[in-house]
Amino acid sequence: MWLPLKIPRRLMRKVSSSLLFLVLVAAVSFAQGGDKKAPLSPPGTASHSFADGKKVTIDYSRPAARGRKIVGELVPFGKVWRTGANSATSLTTDTDLVIGGTAVPAGKYTLYTLPGETAWKLIINKQTGQWGTQYDEKQDLARVDMQVGKTTAPVEQFTISLDKGGADSAKLTLEWESTSATVDVKEKK
């Protein structure tokens, strides 16, 4: 035979409050985990290992065109561009380099570009760890000429690559929309 239990009100309130708290925590956790969207400018990495095992790496964010006019508008001519999105684009090398004929000692740097209608410059800056728009010209190590051309097909998402050129060299390429800008990177011997 079943006998009804008398549960004190104070205990019932504690149990009810605890259950309500657990339900709210579960709902918030589900909402946070189930509603994550891919970032608009996801992280990207370009790297190259030389024949002796030394490495150069570029970490950057990859904005997408999303129907916008990029080169000449979103990335204006004649103004320093952060060369990506979000945090500043970084170049890390554990060997001395020659980029476009300019000596770059081993270390960590920030990359910016100065786009033009017919010519681009790669800016190698000694300041590191800053947000992409915090550019200090006084910290420039060098400004290097880049070769500018057209891509073979439209590029929706900004891309940096380091393609092997030889045992001790690579080609640094920036591509977005229909523009390609390149410069040679060599290990300094």
Range scoring the smallest mean pLDDT among 33-37, 47-51, 91-95, 129-133 = 33-37
Spatial CA neighbour of 173 closest among 189, 153, 149: 149
Asked whether the beta carbons of 159 and 42 are under 8 A apart, the reply is no
What mean pLDDT comes out for the span 96-113?
98
**Quick count: other Cβ atoms within 10 Å of Cβ 62?**
20
Q: Where are the domains of the chain?
A: 43-187
pLDDT the model gives residue 78: 97
Q: What does the alpha-carbon distance between residue 40 and residue 12 come to, in Å, rounded to a whole number?
A: 48
Task: Indicate whether 167 pLDDT > 60.
Answer: yes
Strands (E) located in the chain = 43-49, 55-61, 89-93, 97-99, 102-104, 107-114, 120-125, 140-166, 169-187
45-67 residue pLDDT tens:
999 999 999 999 999 999 999 99
2-61 residue pLDDT tens:
555 566 666 556 655 555 555 555 555 555 555 567 788 999 999 999 999 999 999 999
pLDDT the model gives residue 189: 84
